[in-house]
Structure 1
Amino acid sequence: MVLPLHDRILDSIEAYFGLSPQMLTLSVEVSQPELDQRVIRLSLKAARERVADPAVPAGIKDAIWSALVRLASEAKDPWDTAVIWMMVPGLRRICRRCRRYGSPLDSSELESEAVAGFVEVLHVADPNRPALGSWLWWTTYRHVQEASARARAETPTADIELLGSLRAYGYDDSTSSQTVVRLVRDDVPVVDESAAAGSALEGERLGALAHRLGLDRALHLPGGSTERAA
């Protein structure tokens, strides 16, 4: 099965899970602290529903996350992808929160940072940590916050350097409403990049992130290349 890569990485993960027979059959064994550690088996879909349900006791949610973190660490494929799918609703909340607090990153960039941050957090997560689910969310949130802070600090410097370079080439920024994003020699006309080129670059960035996380294999993307949904 070849799955097109969506513009947003969280949509790609959701689509892959929904269309992959292997993912649909996954289940996890979870102990229930309030029932003397009795073990139950939940489908991954049921497990995600319980994690999102505010009425479910925190102990059960942490038991689910503990089992998933352990499986992702020990069994790897397909659990390394499955645990990201489990956190997708939480990652979306992180992105919305960061946008609400003025992150300079766009939605696609925030999602990429959220997935990359969550993967890093998983590598150091202790399955036996108390309040594991909350720790996973807040540690990932701080990662995205830090990425937003770096982008905010870098943007003014980049803008100043760009403007200085443009003026050195005799460019009058007061006569143009569009940002010139590519500099060329003074004997060659300066041309604005098209919206299509920007879209292609975004696709390449998402493909590179998928390759970095190992998702290009899961999504059948050779070398991190992208296939757009029609």
Structure 2
Amino acid sequence: MSNSRSKGLLDAIEMRFRESRMATLTLDEPREDGHRISLERIRELILDRGIAPEAQDAVWRELVTLARKGEERWQLAAIWMMLPGLRKIVGRCGGGRETDYGEVESEAVAGFLEELHRIDARRPRIGASLWWAARRRAAEVRLRRAREIPSEEIALVAAERERRDHEPGALAEAVHEGVISVSDARLINETRLEGERLGAVAERMGLRYHACHQRRARAEGRLAGYLLVGGDKRAPSPPGEVPVQLRPEGDAA
């Protein structure tokens, strides 16, 4: 992976986490000399294989539980804890003619967040399961890109110039930053904001209903990951607070 690559979503998550001063927060386990230790120290121990698999499971079990309670800062903390693994995924799946690092980053984060909200926290090797969920989503990017028709993309870019000012702010910003495509922004806008039936939009796009449903879910997952760190561009928040509310599932019709 080239060192000259511009900063992307994972770098933004790292920066947001540091700025929120969350690295000093602690969990119940593990402990050193009987004392609770910071998230930063816990991640160091995990990377150095300094704690047993059972202790790692305890860490992820608590992070999953806290994230599911609805506090966005703990969702951010969970992603931050997995950042080294996510960076490995991007290094393996990103680049090449068919795709780019930005889309792989967004998909990896989206896959991680989806699994975070549905994994059985009682199972062993929670961290590995979360990593593989992110890895599977990232690996799909290259295949999807290879199937896209270049002429369609050219037409979409031209159409986007005409419609950008009419799209909702968050969607337009995400399109501009390359998080989602123009067609995905329209899909979300028409079915979520304008209230059009997904089946009707799928027919107009030449897609089967299930394929259109999945496409929207993937796009909303990438959008959720982007907004997690992109929201602070519009309104600064006090240290320790994450202003954006994420929906665990992006498929609610």
Where on the TM-score scale, by shorter chain, does this alignment land: which range?
Answer: 0.5 to 0.7
Aligned: 1:215 with 2:228: yes
Cα displacement string for residues 165-210 of structure 1 (whole angstroms, at most 9, x for unaligned residues): 9xxxxxxxxxxxxxxx648xxxxxxxxxxxxxxxx9552638x978
**CA shift in 2, pair 1:103/1:89, >3 Å:** farther
TM-score for the superposition, normalised by structure 1: 0.64
Match of 1:136 in 2: 130
Which residue of 37, 54, 62 maps to 2:49? 54
Q: 1:41 aligns to what SS in structure 2?
A: strand
Whole-angstrom CA distance in 1 between matches of 2:223 and 2:90: 21
Whole-angstrom CA distance in 2 between matches of 1:43 and 1:75: 21
Match of 1:203 in 2: 177
Kept in 1, the 8 Å contact 2:89–2:108? The answer is: yes
Aligned: 1:20 with 2:20: yes
Q: Who wins on radius of gyration, i.e. which is larger?
A: 1
Aligned: 1:150 with 2:144: yes
Q: How far is 1:26 from its partner?
A: 1.4
Q: 1:97 aligns to what SS in structure 2?
A: helix
Kept in 1, the 8 Å contact 2:13–2:80? The answer is: yes
Which amino acid in 2 is paired with 1:205?
V
Q: How far is 1:145 from its partner?
A: 1.2
Which residue of 67, 70, 86 maps to 1:72? 67
Q: How far is 1:150 from its partner?
A: 1.7
Identity %: 36
Whole-angstrom CA distance in 2 between matches of 1:218 and 1:42: 29
**CA shift in 2, pair 1:107/1:204, >3 Å:** closer
Which residue of 122, 142, 158 maps to 2:116? 122
Aligned: 1:86 with 2:98: no
TM-score for the superposition, normalised by structure 2: 0.58
Match of 1:113 in 2: 107
Whole-angstrom CA distance in 2 between matches of 1:17 and 1:95: 19
Which amino acid in 2 is paired with 1:98?
C
Which amino acid in 1 is paired with 2:69?
E
Q: 2:72 aligns to what SS in structure 1?
A: coil
Q: How far is 1:159 from its partner?
A: 2.7
Match of 1:188 in 2: none
